[in-house]
Amino acid sequence: MSLEDFVHRTSSYWMRADGPEDEMVMSTRVRLARNLANLPFPMLATEGQMDEVLERVNRALRHPSVQALGHFEMLPMNRVHELDREVLMEKHLISPDLVEHPGRSAVVLRDDETISIMVGEEDHLRIQCLFPGLQLKPAWDLASRVDDALEATLDWAYDEKRGYLTACPTNVGTGMRASVMMHLPALVMTDQIRRVLHAISQVGLAVRGIYGEGTEAVGNLFQVSNQITLGQSEEEIVHNLYGVTRQLIEHERRARQLLLEQNRPELEDRIGRSYGVLRYARRLDSKETMQRLSDVRLGIDLGIITGVPKGILKELMVLTRPALLQTYEGRELSPQERDVHRAALIRERLRALSA
Contact 206, 215 (CB under 8 A): no
Query: Which residues have C-beta within 8 Å of that of residue 141, sequence separation ≥ 6?
Result: none
CA-based torsion, 212, 213, 215, 219: positive or negative:
positive
Give the whole-angstrom CA distance, residue 171 versus residue 228.
8
Rounded CA-CA distance 22/303 in Å is 15
Residues annotated within the binding site for ATP are 27-31, 92, 126, 177-181, 208-213
Strand locations in the chain (E) = 25-34, 72-76, 106-110, 115-119, 125-132, 158-159, 163-164, 176-183, 205-208, 221-226
Helix (H) or strand (E) holding 154: none
Annotated binding site: 27-31, 92, 126, 177-181, 208-213
Beta-carbon count within 10 A of 204 CB:
14
Cβ neighbours for 323, distance < 8 A, ≥ 6 positions apart: 83, 84, 86, 87, 89, 90
Burial label for 66, CB within 10 Å (0-12, 13-18, 19+), is buried
**Rounded-to-integer distance, Cα 46 and Cα 197, Å:** 41
End-to-end CA distance of the chain: 33
Cα–Cα distance for residue pair 171/152, rounded to 1 Å:
23
Q: Is the dihedral of CA 72, 76, 82, 86 positive or negative?
A: positive
